Amino acid sequence: MVDLDYLKYLEEFLSDSRKQRFLQVLENRTNHFTIAVEDVYQFHNTSAVMRSCEVFGIQEINIVEQRFGKNIDKEIAMGAQKWVDINKFDNIANCIKTLKNKGYQIIATTPHNDSCLLHDFDVTQKSALFFGTEKEGLSEEVMSQADGYLKIPMVGFTESLNISVSAAIIIQDITTRLRQSEVNWKLTEVELLEKRLLWAKNSIKDIKRIEERYFSEK
C-alpha cells in the first residue's frame, strides 16, 4: 500500500499545475493492454515503442533481452522512461509466463496467414501484444504460444513496416477504440496512487536527500 503521508509530503515539492497534469495523464492510463518487445537489435526502436506507449496511455512495456543487451535511447524516448513501467526479462519464456499469470492473452503481431486484421481486433480482451526483431520477426516460441495473431492491413508491395512504426499504428488504434468501449480499462485506485508516488519521485531532483529527511523526521 502507498504511504499517503509520504505521497502528500513529496507532492508539496511539486507545483499545483504539475500535480494537476499528473492527474490528467493518469485518467487516460491503462494496464488493459501491455506491450512486449522481443530481442530488438536496434535499441532506438525499443525507445520509440516506449514513447508510443507513453503517448497513447499504455502504462507497461516488457523488454526481452535474450540475445541483445540494450539501453534506452533517451533522445528518442523523450523522457518516456520516467512515465511508463519497464519490465525486463532475460528470456521469452519468463515473459510469457508472467504476462499470462497476470491474465493477458498473448497476441503476436505478424503477417501470419491466420492473423486478425487490426480493425477487427477485439479490444475488450486483456491483451499483451508482442513485437519482434526487425529482420526475423517474433521467435517460434512466441508464435507457438500465442493465443492470437494480429496484422496491419497493407495494400502495397512492401510486406512489413519498421517495428516502431507498426507499434505506433497498432497502439494508437487499439487504445482509441478501447476508450470508446464500455470496458473498465482505467487504472485502479491503488495503481493511481502508486503512479503518483513514483512520478513525484521522478520529478524531484534532490529526491534522495528529501527522502532521507522525511524518514529521519518520521
pLDDT digits (tens, 9 = 90+) for 85-111: 999 998 999 999 999 999 999 999 998
The residue behind cell 499483451 is: 128
Q: For residue 165, what are the CA distances in angstroms to 2, 45, 47, 134, 183?
A: 37, 9, 12, 11, 27
pTM of the complete model = 0.89
3-state secondary structure of 68: coil
Q: Which residue has the higher pLDDT, 155 or 77?
A: 155
pLDDT in tens, 193-203: 999 999 999 99
pLDDT in tens, 40-99: 655 678 888 999 999 999 999 999 875 544 554 444 344 678 899 999 998 999 999 999
Q: Do the Cβ atoms of 9 and 214 come closer than 8 Å?
A: yes
φ/ψ of residue 137, rounded to 5? 75, -160
